[in-house]
Structure 1
Amino acid sequence: MMFTPKRAVAVVGLAAAALVATACSGGTSEPAGSGDAAAPSGGTITIAAPLALTGSAGSVGLEVRNGAELAIEEINAAGGIGGRELVLNAQDTAGDPAQAVQVVSSMSRDADTIALLGPLLTPEVAAVYNSIAETGIVMIPPASLGAIPGVEGGEFNDWTFRVNQPLQYVATPLIVKAIEETDAKKVTVLGLSDNPTNKEIADWWEEGAKGAGVEVQRIDFPNATTDFSAIATSIAPDSDVIAFSTLPSHTASLTALLRQSGHKAQFLGETAMLSHEVWDNSGGATLGAFAYSPFLPDANDRAKAFTEAFTEKYDLPPSLFSALGYESIYLIAEAADENVTRDSLREGLSTLSGFEGVTGTLGYDGSGDVLRGEIPFVHIIDGGGVEKIGEIVPENAG
């Protein structure tokens, strides 16, 4: 059976269930860059994955890669795209923007590569943002959620399609929801002083909390910090909510220290809080933490089938980041035509709407940030999974 583009047939799990999601297509203007006019020349189609597989975000990159590999296995089992198999070429950027530039430049020169799954972190995405438009290759950053410097109002270039829910549209609703749930009077916001993305997220949370009329303590520290004891002891003991705009390694260490010291505050995080690394390395200290997650294992039939297949393959449940890697590959397959080129893929993604995926119903209005409706407001349950306890509405809700 051949995978049919424009009709995303997911062969998922042991039952190999066929699940159909339609997408509406229309005309689009020509992009500023120019992709390859010809289809990939070889017998396979390559999706390049410049991901942080080591470093402070390495666990997230590995989770994305695992989800992407499962999706490619399923699509190839169904016949590939136009009869050609997909190949994932994953290379490590270590989360370093300079290394991301080198890796992306090399990958983009391969004529058989039709898209980039990555980079992972927003500073890396910013570093390659202009070059991918000049080269003319689709970039799907699977985890990036911060603002891109120089991109105003979500007006991205024609080649960039983010799939994670951008925090700039949910930051204020998220922290206001946490304050309402806890009747908080004081909030501590943690950020990274030398990471523009995490610093900006912390800014949004600080502004949102102040707007809700609560007292705010703000603490920033460098990304290279490894001893968190001074930071933990400097957090106000009467804080009702502690909001983490930090990377998984920081969050794991700090949440463990805070619980060991007896701090009872409600933890709040963005999607990095949901990484398996945070749960495992904190010793379960994030139990009950608030976050938001476009992915819930039992949200719909596709999510259930994906969860079953992923758990069977890797012997652990999927995280949000595994789901985003998986979703990204199916978005590519859905948007591709049988003679897929970089240009035709860009056009297909730019007009995609109503795609029923494992992270909800989504699409794009041109390029840029994904459009979704309401986003689950969740807390972390025993074992590191999540449970929906409410909803928040993004400011760019589709």
Structure 2
Amino acid sequence: MMSIVSKAALRRAIPAIASFAVASIVLPGLCGTSAFAADTDAVHIASTAPLTGSAAAYGIETMNGVHLAVEEINAAGGIGGKPIKLSEYDDQCDPTPAATAANQIISDKAVVAVVGNVCSSATLAQMPIFGRVGMPVLAATTSSPALSAKGFENFARIIPNDDIQGVASLDLGTKVLGYKRIAVLYPSDDYGQALLAIAKRAATASGAELVAAETYITGSTNDFSSVLANIAAANPDALFLAGYYADMGAAVSQSVRAFGDKHIALLANAQTQVPEYVSLAGAAAEGTWVTNVYDINNPSEQNKAFVAAYTKKFNAEPGVQAAAGYDNIYVLKQAIEENKGSTENLMPVIRATKHEGAMGTISFDKNGDNIGGSLVVLRLTGGKWVFDDESTKKLNAH
């Protein structure tokens, strides 16, 4: 079972995080932000992730992975003998505070790269700002295909975009599990709109029918009864959960009344593979299918070392967010080293980097999308996410 650190745990560790403000990180080899601009003997990296709000669990776990990698690298001598210094910004998974954070980051001339991006709508708001100064952005799990389509030359991401992940969730349902009547529940933001478009294309390509598509406002919709009733009336045999864990957990918990005795399979991507989804959705979540790009049981030496170190430090098993944050830093380290220690003109070097990390092989195409690795399938069984070997093999064969 994959696990993450809760919001309460973060509040105990960091008593106050101001809205989209810089948080000083106290880690071995790191210091507060006041000396960054004058310090030429360190590699100064900024992070932007949701640390408060409805998507905080994603950001907190991502930054746990970032922190672990920074500690390891600094303990081993840093990058080219220089320690990493990290400043952390809370983008709240919201375009407005995300844009504010981006402006704050580019005002600090010592920052050489940005990592940790989680939410597509927030990253889309930031990229034009970062692009003005050519700031390299190595995102963690922001996945909207729009980030590729817009042609940002200073952008790369650790995970495949939703043209791969979203299609995989639909292909699992239609091509592997045999469902032909698909409904979609999606947020109204950029991320949700992109997944809806992907679901339509994937359903058509597989010979399935998209019988219902219902939307909601992320973090604001609490009562899903009307949209669930519309979905039930369309008589689907599978529902694609194309949203964040808090909303999906609430919706699934309310689905029992709407669906009654009718069995509707639940298909999702990695956004739901967190303990919060399970606790919010309750017994109704049992049987949820998930496609993911990270398998905690990957037997590679890199992943085994990461899982052991993460579990020891945080007393919890890592999920995809933690692995992405961790690999974020190591890809950046490798790129700087391959650039002979220089942080100048870094983006082309990042995109040319091939890294073997906790998530497996990471390599980038001309748009900065990760094209390495493969997909895994898990199912929620007895309250735990269980790897499904047969479905994984069938999905990757398509």
TM range (shorter): 0.7 to 0.9
Shift of residue 382, structure 1, vs aligned partner: 4.3
User: What residue number does 2:137 align with?
Assistant: 139
Whole-angstrom distance in 1 between the partners of 2:189 and 2:142:
13
1:30-49 aligned within 5 A:
41-49=39-47
- Residue of structure 1 aligned with 2:221, choices 212, 219, 225: 225
Whole-angstrom distance in 1 between the partners of 2:364 and 2:207:
35
Q: What's the secondary structure of 2:48's corresponding residue? A: strand
Q: Percent identity?
A: 22
User: What residue number does 2:276 align with?
Assistant: 277
User: What residue number does 1:336 align with?
Assistant: 336
State the Cα deviation string for residues 10-60 of structure 1 (Å, max 9, x = none): xxxxxxxxxxxxxxxxxxxxxxxxxxxxx9843332221111112221111
Whole-angstrom distance in 2 between the partners of 1:114 and 1:381:
44
The count of aligned residue pairs is 352
Whole-angstrom distance in 1 between the partners of 2:38 and 2:277:
40
Whole-angstrom distance in 1 between the partners of 2:343 and 2:397:
30
Whole-angstrom distance in 1 between the partners of 2:56 and 2:109:
28
For CA contacts below 8 A with separation 6 or more, give which structure has more relative contact order. 1
1:1-398 aligned within 5 A:
41-148=39-146, 151-152=148-149, 156-192=151-187, 194-215=188-209, 216-223=211-218, 224-236=220-232, 238-259=235-256, 261-262=260-261, 264-283=263-282, 285-299=284-298, 300-337=300-337, 340-353=341-354, 355-389=355-389, 390-391=392-393, 392-393=395-396
Q: What's the secondary structure of 1:369's corresponding residue? A: coil
Q: What's the secondary structure of 2:173's corresponding residue? A: helix
Q: What do you get for the CA RMSD once the two structures are aligned?
A: 2.5
Residue identity matched to 1:258: S
Shift of residue 81, structure 1, vs aligned partner: 0.9
Shift of residue 285, structure 1, vs aligned partner: 4.2
Shift of residue 231, structure 1, vs aligned partner: 2.7
User: What residue number does 2:26 align with?
Assistant: none
Residue identity matched to 2:335: A
Whole-angstrom distance in 1 between the partners of 2:343 and 2:132:
13
Work out whether residues 184 and 213 of structure 2, in 8 Å CA contact, stay in contact via their aligned partners in 1. Answer: yes
Whole-angstrom distance in 2 between the partners of 1:207 and 1:339:
44
Whole-angstrom distance in 2 between the partners of 1:86 and 1:208:
42
TM-score where L is the length of structure 1: 0.81
Q: Which runs of 5+ in 1 are unaligned?
A: 1-38
User: What residue number does 2:17 align with?
Assistant: none
Shift of residue 393, structure 1, vs aligned partner: 5.0
Q: Which runs of 5+ in 2 are unaligned?
A: 1-36
Whole-angstrom distance in 2 between the partners of 1:380 and 1:244:
14
Work out whether residues 40 and 340 of structure 1, in 8 Å CA contact, stay in contact via their aligned partners in 2. Answer: no
User: What residue number does 1:29 align with?
Assistant: none
TM-score where L is the length of structure 2: 0.81
Q: Which consecutive segments of 4 or more residues in structure 1 shift more than 6 A?
A: none
Whole-angstrom distance in 2 between the partners of 1:284 and 1:349:
44
